[in-house]
């Protein structure tokens, strides 16, 4: 929400009001089926703003990785939490170190089983 307030101050109050409301979330794919979860803050399942807010949140991280990989002619492409990077081996190692170290600060975690 800090990013929203600094970059889009005109919509901050509306999003904050929606973000601070409680809602019921859920987990699917459990052996017991679907379990409900009381959610005290945040946007609920299916809220259209969630992808946009997530993208806004990870934007500084993506920029930092872009700056690393573009030195060697590499690129980074993102779709919400799926990052694709093409670069040299050394730049990739440096980019991955940044993603692991700073990603957790904004809720981005690499699944090395898929990498």
What's the structural domain count of the chain?
2
List Cα–Cα distances, 21 to 4, 25, 112, in angstroms. Answer: 17, 12, 34
- Looking at the fold, whether 32 and 70 belong to one and the same domain comes out as no
pLDDT of residue 41: 67
Percent over 90 (pLDDT), the chain: 35
Give CA–CA dist 50/56, Å, rounded.
Answer: 10
The answer on pLDDT for 62 being more than 70 is yes
Q: Tell me the three state secondary structure of residue 69.
A: helix
Name the percent of the chain lying above pLDDT 70.
90
* Residue 109 and residue 54 in one domain: yes
Q: Does pTM surpass 0.75?
A: no
The sign of the CA dihedral 60, 63, 69, 71 is negative
Q: Does residue 65 sit in the same domain as residue 109?
A: yes
């Amino acid at each position: 929400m800090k990013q929203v307030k600094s970059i889009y101050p005109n919509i901050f109050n509306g999003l904050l009001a929606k973000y601070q409301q409680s809602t019921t979330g859920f987990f699917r794919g459990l052996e017991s089926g679907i379990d409900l979860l009381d959610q005290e803050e945040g946007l609920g399942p299916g809220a259209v703003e969630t992808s946009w807010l997530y993208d806004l949140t990870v934007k500084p991280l993506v920029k930092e990785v872009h700056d690393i990989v573009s030195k060697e002619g590499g690129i980074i492409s993102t779709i919400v939490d799926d990052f694709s990077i093409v670069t040299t081996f050394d730049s990739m190692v440096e980019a991955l170190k940044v993603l692991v170290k700073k990603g957790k600060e904004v809720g981005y975690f690499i699944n090395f089983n898929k990498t």
